[in-house]
Amino acid sequence: MSQPQDNSAEAFFIALRKAFNDTIGAGKSLRGTCDPGLIDALTAQAIDLFERNAEIQAEDQPAPACCRGCATCCALQVSATAPEIFAAARFLRLTAPAFAAHGVDFASRVVAFNAQVKGLDQKARFASGRLCPFIIGGACAIYSVRTLACRGHVAFDRAACEAAARGEDAEAPISGAHKTVRALVQGALQAALRDSGLDWGASEFLAGLDRALNDDETEARWLRGETVFEDLRIDAGEDAFRNVLQGDAGRG
């Protein structure tokens, strides 16, 4: 699904919302309960919609400087929807034995990291230089299941990013196309989740992941329609989409 050049962001959002609603509908039983497979289906759909449409909208932009081996911005706080959090938790459970063989326990790293940054706002957190606990040797260990927020933060000048991270007076140019598509895809996903009576807000990713990893019932409760991350909210739902329509996020 791509956004035609003569279509508005709002029309594109509506189409995305319907696509997500169709997926949720297919993942519900006659009793209205959700199949566990819905989490992987929604996450895969969101990633695919973002990647394909971001590529189209960014055709006339410079090549991104971001790659798996660059962790310059990985000290930023990240928001994520419940399906993204649960998909990452599933990935970590699946790969835990392989990482443990190399002496890496990501569940413990997440707990320690959350304790270190507790109470820090976004500016203080970035200035602290504490990198995401999934950065190993400068690369993201969960790159394939990274959040829409991570995918949508794309820069063009690595040197400028590194200078800004050091606290220098430098401005790193960011891709408006990726930021816009991320806002539309995430906003549409959240809207569809709300339409279906599922916990739809965006929460602090690492705090939510810690909960999902340490409480096996969190995922099952979410699938039953319970609100499981409300105390971890850092994003006001569809505000990101509204910002796009108002021009705050730029146009791709």
Domain residue spans of the chain: 9-246
In the chain, the largest separation of any two C-alpha atoms, in whole Å, equals 58
Model confidence at 173: pLDDT above 70: yes
Backbone angles phi, psi at 249, to 5 degrees: -100, 0
Under the banding of pLDDT at 50, 70 and 90, the label for residue 183 is very high
Predicted model pTM: 0.87
Look at residues 49, 89, 5 and name the one whose alpha carbon lies nearest to residue 188: 49
pLDDT tens sequence across 151-168:
998 877 777 777 777 777
**What is the helix (H) or strand (E) element at residue 202, kind and residue range?**
strand 202-204
Model confidence at 128: pLDDT above 90: no
> Under a CB-based contact definition with an 8 Å cutoff, are residues 102 and 48 in contact?
no
Model confidence at 1: pLDDT above 70: no
pLDDT tens sequence across 66-117:
667 777 788 889 999 999 999 999 999 999 999 999 999 999 999 999 999 9
Model confidence at 217: pLDDT above 60: yes
Q: Report CA-CA distances (Å) from 120 to 72, 77, 114, 130.
A: 18, 10, 10, 11
Question: At which residue do the structure tokens 């297919």 appear?
Answer: 26
The overall average pLDDT reported for the chain is 86
Residue 84 region, left (φ>0) first, then alpha (ψ -120 to 50), else beta?
A: alpha
Question: At which residue do the structure tokens 């816009």 appear?
Answer: 180
Under the banding of pLDDT at 50, 70 and 90, the label for residue 187 is very high
pLDDT of residue 99: 96
What's the rounded mean pLDDT across residues 134-145?
A: 92
Cα separation, 96 vs 76, in Å, equals 25
pLDDT of residue 81: 97
